[in-house]
Structure 1
Amino acid sequence: MLEVIGWLGTVLVVASLTVAGVWRFRVMNLVGAVLATAYNAAIGVWPVVAMNGAIALIDVYWLVRLQRERHDAAAYEVLDVDADDAWLGHLLRVHGDDVRRFHPGVDLAPAPGRSAHLVVRGDETVGVVLVRDVGGGTGLIEVDYVTPRFRDFTPGEFVYRRSGLFVERGLRRLEVHAVPHAGTTYLERMGFRPTGTGGWERPVEPVAA
């Protein structure tokens, strides 16, 4: 049984290095480090105990920090950019195949009436929301995309929180025709409700005076 614990810890630590999501990486790495610490303590290999114990403490620190910041507007910022912005274009080219996996058939070329919002954490872009004005005060969410490293989080929420982004463009409601990768629970948390025709919608709340 002791050998099983040791091998399981090793496998988890190694496997965590292949995971793109920062949250899942830390969780797997933490569990693996704890098991490796227990195994090496049992057989008396103290330098390895110290190393894995330190790794576990570092993982705990980052998990606590990530959890604390996941809904914190001070940690994530929304940048409004033009539809033909160079960095947006680069981002959509790099992640184009992945974006289309979640939004089949979407045209990622710059389009009239489209607004683009980048969610950034420090100097890293973690999410993209593209909204097209389809008339009548309605904005269609064409893309709500999160990069693989932050797919365990929902950075798009920071875009929807800022109703002023949409009010300034004359939008009174937002529609979603294709459910994003985060699923219907995510849409409900963002204030969207089923339309009864297969889509989702939410009103754009007026900006407080």
Structure 2
Amino acid sequence: MDTVLEVIGWIGTILVVLSLTQSRVMRFRWMNLIGSLLATLYNGVIGIWPFFAMNLAISVINTYWILRLNRERHDPGVYKVLPMDPEDPFLQHVLAVHAKDIAAHQPDFTAKALGAARRATFLVTRGDEAVGVVAVRDEGGGTGLVELDWVKPRFRDFTPGEFVYRDSGVLTAAGFRRVEIDTHEALDREYLRKVGFSTQGTRWVRDL
């Protein structure tokens, strides 16, 4: 029993420490919650009440935030989509700061695109923080090719890009009736299905 208890204590400690290395908000909250629950159990059994109380409080706080974040993840009142000029200085700053991560997910995207007038660009925000960028090139006839659909790593569990396709109306306001995405190795197919895309040939397609 003592050995099992020690293992539980160590697993809880390791999870709490590892959670602090996570950039993704939801992953951090879940790891921290499980670790703090195990630590609560461990400290309760051996009777270290100050640490029992601390870890119990942390567990309650984590539970609150997990419930709140899940409630907000599809709330258009939390995430806003702002149409941006492709050459807007702040937008270009965001793209430059996160250029390495963007290149890993959309290797063919170029922030300073030729023919920028044909690109519609949207900044996804949460409060006053920029959390993602969607860029769509006008291919004529009401069809847009999504050149970039990127979200900061810490918000990647919440798929805020969905608000560009579903709720904001910004794409239809920009004149698009249909958007397409070229298939590539880094493409998140599960995300595309969730926001209403389906495969047609070598592209993913969504009618608006």
Give TM-score, length-normalised by structure 2: 0.92
Counterpart in 2 of 1:62? 65
Give per-residue Cα distances to partners, 1:163-183, cap 9 Å, x unaligned. 632233322211100359672
Give the C-alpha shift of residue 70 in structure 1.
0.5
Closer, same or farther: CA 163–149 of 1 in aligned 2, 3 Å: closer
User: CA–CA distance in 2 between the matches of 1:35 and 1:182?
Assistant: 36
Of 184, 193, 205, which aligns to 1:201?
205
Post-superposition shift, 1:159?
Answer: 0.5
Match for residue 93 of structure 1 among 90, 93, 96: 96
Contact 1:103 1:178 in 2 (8 A): no
Unmatched 5+ stretches in structure 1: 205-209
**Alignment RMSD (CA, Å):** 1.6
Q: Matched residue pairs, number?
A: 203
Shift of 1:78: 0.8
Give the distance between the partners of 1:56 and 1:41, measured in 2 at CA: 14
Is residue 112 from structure 1 mapped to residue 104 from structure 2 by the alignment? no
Among 145, 151, 160, the alignment partner of 1:140 is 145
1:37 to 16, 40, 60: 40
CA contact (8 A) 2:104 2:186 kept: no
What is the deviation of 1:186?
1.7
In 1, the alpha carbon distance for the partners of 2:70 and 2:186 equals 20
Once the two structures are overlaid, the 10-residue window that deviates more, 34-43 or 177-186, is 177-186
Give the aligned partner of residue 106 of structure 2. 103
Partner of 1:207: none
Aligned partners of 2:186 and 2:125: how far apart in 1?
19
CA distance in 1, matches of 2:121, 2:104: 19
Structure 1 runs of 4+ with >3 Å offset: 178-182
- Aligned-pair CA distance for 1:100: 1.0
Which is richer in helix?
2
SS of the residue 1:83 aligns to: coil
Report the Cα offset of residue 152 of structure 1.
1.0
Identity of aligned residues (%): 54
SS of 1:126's partner is: strand
Q: For residues 147-169 of structure 1, what are the alpha-carbon distances to aligned partners after superposition, in whole Å with 9 as ceiling and x for unaligned?
A: 01111111011011146322333
Compute the TM-score of the two structures, normalised by the length of structure 1: 0.92
Which has the higher mean CA deviation after the structures are superposed, 97-106 or 179-188? Answer: 179-188
How far is the alpha carbon of 1:185 from its aligned partner? 2.2
CA distance 1:179–1:105, shift in 2 (3 Å): closer
Q: Is the 8 A contact 2:84 2:123 kept in 1?
A: yes
